[in-house]
Amino acid sequence: MIRNVLLLIADDWSPIAGCYGNAVIHTPNIDRLAQCGTRFTRAFCTTPTCSASRANLLTGLYGHQHRQYGHTHGVHHFRTRSDAVTLPAILRKSGITSALIGKSHIAPKEVYPFDVWQEPADIPFAKFSNSKLRALTETFLKDIGDNPFYLHVASSNPHRAGGEFIRPLHPEFEGKDTLYGLDEVAVPSFLPDTPETRRDLADYYTYISRFDEHVGSILGELERSGHSEDTLILLMSDHGMPFPGAKASPFESGHHCPLIIVHPNGIGAGKQCDALVNWSDILPTVIDAMGVSVESIPDGCTGRSLMPLLKDSHAPWRDSVFYVHNFHEITNYFPYRVVRGNRYKYIRCLASQLDLPLGQDLFDSPTYKEIERTGGSEKRSHERLLRHWPEALFDLDNDPEETINLIDDTKLQPLIQDYRNRLQQFLLETKDPWLEVDYQQGRIRNYR
């Protein structure tokens, strides 16, 4: 029986782990979790940016619905709309304690009324510290006793610590990090294969291994608390890897994420699920798992509970998902809307006259300097990284780097029109204010 939910969320983690087919990286705790649960191979964030993605999973709403369009901290100062119904608010009404430990990246607090909000900031890069997050989790689990809970533990790993991956960052990692040789890492096809890129990726692998250690320490606390047998576990990321052409970009490499769900009764153990899911499904999943009334799900939420997929990974499911992106940092305005099907991806870039603006950590990264120096990779040029068509269709099976626009392919026109219609209907139903762009361009007449 499920009485509790533990959600472990990484920061900027693509599906790079042993259980996701990487034979080099050391992720024993994540791999063991996959053996005990269902590993999703086609899970996607709705927006590849930290704050808006986290707001999505805690409201079940897309960015244009919850209105936390981009980052919440510092000068960016985006905020979730004041009347949004969020997961901690729903659980409080149901008598379930909710706790957030680690990185929040959401605001304002009154919209997200976690009963416990522990965001360590006593030392630099505190939310990268495995020991601090473990200690806070231990305290919460001791205090909660036998009361039902939702525990949201958010590590800052494997996010960059600025433009680079600083080592050791904390004394706890001194001499204990898992290090990788330049010849060991797998260079994604959209990045230039140079020593500097490989060095950057090797450091990223180290940070992923740190996150794996964090996963092991939190699972250890859950076991010691006696709650491992009545707690559903979700392991996921807010979005993809912190490299140019992934995070904060329209490419699949920014949206494709890991997702592992472990049922305490062993339902779905060791299974792989290829269904198309996205982070709008997380809130309905938690609600379903904890036995809360589905009537509490916020109006406008289009997500579905993933619990049936644990019982039958091949159960009938949707054949497409949507992405909605607006901002990353305040200076990174690049709105786009996407229908992502089993094979094809249709995208509308609503400010295609702009080059894709890079987040500070990406612009300052060693890898972006290599992209500037080399002109990009053989599969994706520097120009293609920055410049995007106003409308495009990509065959992801044959063109995973999204370089060949098929929008004018005569044979594909029926599919293209179907995807146009799907996207327009979805945006109308969810009241997307960016439909004004299509209206002014004459693409839509029934908006106002």
Boundaries of every domain in the chain: 4-311, 321-441
Give the whole-angstrom CA distance, residue 298 versus residue 287.
11
Mean pLDDT of 32-37: 98
pLDDT for position 65 = 98
**Can you say whether the dihedral through the CA atoms of 137, 142, 143, 144 is positive or negative?**
positive
pLDDT at 385 over 90: yes
Among residues of the chain, what percentage have pLDDT more than 70? 100
pLDDT at 1 over 90: no
pLDDT for position 446 = 79
Kindly state the tokens that stand for 22: 């990487």
Domain 321-441 fold: Arylsulfatase, C-terminal domain (3.30.1120)
Give the containing element (helix H, strand E) for 363. helix 360-363
Cα torsion at 270, 276, 280, 284 (round to 10°)? Answer: -50
Supply the mean pLDDT for the chain: 97
pLDDT for position 116 = 98
Give the whole-angstrom CA distance, residue 429 versus residue 435.
11
Instruction: Place domain 4-311 in its CATH homologous superfamily.
Output: Alkaline Phosphatase, subunit A (3.40.720.10)
- Residues 6+ away with beta carbon under 8 Å from 194: 370, 374
**262 with 271: CB under 8 angstroms?**
no
pLDDT for position 448 = 82
Give the containing element (helix H, strand E) for 35. helix 28-36
Conformational region of residue 268, where left means phi above 0, alpha means psi within -120 to 50, and beta covers everything else: left
pTM, full prediction = 0.98
Give residue-wise pLDDT tens across range 147-168.
999 999 999 999 999 999 998 8
Choose among 105, 11, 53: nearest CA to 279: 53
Give residue-wise pLDDT tens across range 358-380.
999 999 999 999 999 999 999 99
Give the whole-angstrom CA distance, residue 306 versus residue 190.
31
* Band (208; pLDDT cuts 50, 70, 90): very high
pLDDT for position 433 = 97
Give the whole-angstrom CA distance, residue 28 versus residue 19.
9
* Band (447; pLDDT cuts 50, 70, 90): confident
Give residue-wise pLDDT tens across range 41-55.
999 999 999 999 999
**252 with 396: CB under 8 angstroms?**
yes
- Residues 6+ away with beta carbon under 8 Å from 226: none
pLDDT for position 297 = 96
Give residue-wise pLDDT tens across range 220-237.
999 999 999 999 999 999
